[in-house]
Structure 1
């Protein structure tokens, strides 16, 4: 009996851990939701329309999330490497305090726009139930992949290079 319980617990744990690193195609070619949010570093309003025709990696994150912080270096590198190819990273923080996010942007020298996510925007993206959660958007504005959890740079580069013309 105890072997069955141990086995069931092991299988459950495996599925839980595997789900934390899931890369799934976006459901039914979803269009990226429109938004107009304030960029935390500059205070400037950013309309999602300015990204029309660009490939995007939109990442929902939090300042208190270790995998999110770990991913920042990769996102900075992607922005540097691919921005001349019509690509941009967009950071959307689920933190409650803008000051904390502004300090993080300055401390980490983040080179891509970071805004405060609204509850309505997380719902528009189909629900963001954990961080980091990222969405890869092609030049047509279609969400082509959803990533849940930390994503290795090699995976992001591979997927990004498939959608950059």
Structure 2
């Protein structure tokens, strides 16, 4: 009986051990407080892709192609419930006010929330840069994949994605400023 039980336990452990492989820690995962992480700011040769999304509170659509290749663009993906997104808004607004005269555009993109809720959020944080609604995230993928919030994509004047920052740390904006 003991031999049968021991053999069954050993077999079970072997099956479990072969089914589980040790996974390497994802070095690109950001610190949730917004550290840039290993993937942050990594240049990409990918051409930025046009987005056509409704503008919060306006009832009209914003077409990213209207500024692609003309200005440096910072896309800021966020939600109203994300604490790090809330923390980032005053910094993003200040950065926008300081740099918008330099052929720079900051575009906020809220993920899957109602217009009224996002409109209240925009007013509460005094946001004056364009904020768009992405009700269907499938329009974003695979070009603008958002795994963490907030996520910032930096697009050069040439229309290329030159940086991706997951999470938020005010020092990220220093990296963005270097590319203006």
TM-score category (smaller protein) = 0.7 to 0.9
Of 146, 156, 159 in structure 1, the residue corresponding to residue 173 of structure 2 is 156
Unaligned runs of 5+ in 2: 1-24
Distance 1:25 1:163, change over 3 A: same
How has the CA–CA distance of structure 1 residues 73 and 98 changed in structure 2, closer, same or farther, with 3 Å as cutoff?
A: same
Aligned pairs for 1:1-165 (under 5 A) are 18=31, 21=35, 22=37, 23-26=40-43, 28-52=44-68, 53-117=70-134, 118-152=136-170, 154-157=171-174, 159-164=175-180
More strand by share: 1
Q: CA deviation at 1:41?
A: 2.4
| In structure 2, C-alpha distance between the alignment counterparts of 1:16 and 1:132, rounded to whole Å | 13
Aligned-residue offset at 1:49: 1.7
Conserved? CA contact 1:60–1:133, under 8 Å: yes
Q: In the aligned structure 1, how far is the partner of 2:48 from the partner of 2:29?
A: 28
Residue deviations 1:68-119, cap 9 Å, x none?
Answer: 0000001101110000001111101113322111111122120101011231
**Does the CA-based 8 Å contact 1:33-1:124 persist in structure 2?**
no
- SS at 1:42 equivalent: coil
Partner SS for 2:42: strand
Between stretches 78-87 and 89-98, larger displacement belongs to 89-98
Pairwise CA distance, 1:126 = 4.5
Q: By how many angstroms is 1:123 displaced?
A: 0.7
Unaligned stretches of 5+ residues in structure 1: 1-11
Residues 88 and 168 in structure 2, CA contact (< 8 A), matched pair in contact too: yes
Compute the TM-score of the two structures, normalised by the length of structure 2. Answer: 0.75
Task: Give the length in aligned residue pairs.
Answer: 151
Give the Cα separation in 2 of the matches to 1:25 and 1:75. Answer: 20
Structure with more of its chain in helix, by fraction: 1
RMSD after superposition: 2.4
* SS, match of residue 160 in structure 1: helix
